Amino acid sequence: MYQQGFGRNNNMRKIYVLLFFSIFVLDIFSQNNEEKKSSVFMDSAVYYLKNKQYEKSLHFYIASFSFEAPENPNRLYEAAVMAARTDKKDLSFMLLGFSVNKGFNRYEHILENKDFIKFNDERLDSFTDKIKLQDSILRAISSQLDDIFKEDQEIRNLFFDSFDKDSISKAEILNKMEYIDSCNLVTVKRIINEHGFWGRSLRTNNSRNAMWTTLQHSGVLSEYLNILRLAVKRDEIIPGLLALSEDRALLEKTGYQKYGSQYSLVDGRVVIGKLLDSINVDIYRKEMGLESLNDYIENIEKSMRPESSEEK
């Protein structure tokens, strides 16, 4: 019995060492190839979770983390639940701690979850308090960002409606828009400095779009690209929005773009800005979850056409 128990403890230590290594060290060495491997393992982990094969699911979560340091608190939380459901107490609380430290904020969910309660471990109360605090912070941020997004969209709608007005009126609206953008940027910068970048985790639709939108209109977008890249890893924004941001910043700096998201209209036709690599652009777009460039152009032009009178 002692020999068997000793073997299990050694196995658990190996798991803990692997996990610690993956989270705190491998992020230094992660490359695109490792990211792809991590993604494949993560897809398998989620597949087995949905099919209630928890041991296999946990195996693939750990494998994914070993290739790329996890930034998504929800994935860490899911792995913690898998560890709990397979009665790996210490591993489950270690993963839960990592999840909380990465910003896990689903307070109502942790209150309803029964997987950790069975261990009767005081660490759960401490983690729950931290999750509650994070939840309250995000609710407050959401309220602020709702107002910012509303201002951002209202002044732009007013500006687009001003095209039929005299140049003085348009200039006044443009000046007001620039002032609102600068004020909004001050608030968003403060939030990022104090709490990080947030998108999907926020509590309202408008607030989820506000931080990314404000940065697009800021004039300092290139300074925040690394933050946006991390936001994709944390599942706060979709890769397609990052592609758009990178194109906008690169085009502004070099006159070229990677994904072909930036365009102008000439006689009702879409003209894509200069591309860094026109041969492989669709490969780059696919990696970011985007449609082909031809489909992108076709859909934009289609959206601008008046509906045929024959269509019902």
pLDDT by 10s per residue, the chain, length 312: 333 333 445 566 556 555 554 554 444 444 467 777 889 999 999 999 999 999 999 999 999 999 889 999 999 999 999 999 999 999 999 999 999 999 999 999 999 999 999 999 999 999 999 999 999 999 999 999 999 999 999 999 998 887 776 777 888 999 999 999 999 999 999 999 999 999 999 999 999 999 999 999 999 999 999 999 999 999 999 999 999 999 999 999 999 999 999 999 998 899 999 999 999 999 999 999 999 999 999 999 998 877 643 443
Angle at 124 between CA 110 and CA 143, to 5 degrees: 45
Q: Where are the alpha helices (DSSP H) in 162-292?
A: 167-195, 205-216, 225-233, 239-254, 281-287
- Residues constituting the chain: 312
Packing angle of the helix pair 123-161, 205-216 (nearest 10 deg): 60
E strand or H helix that includes residue 265:
strand 263-266
Element (H, E) at 22: helix 2-24
Reported pTM: 0.84
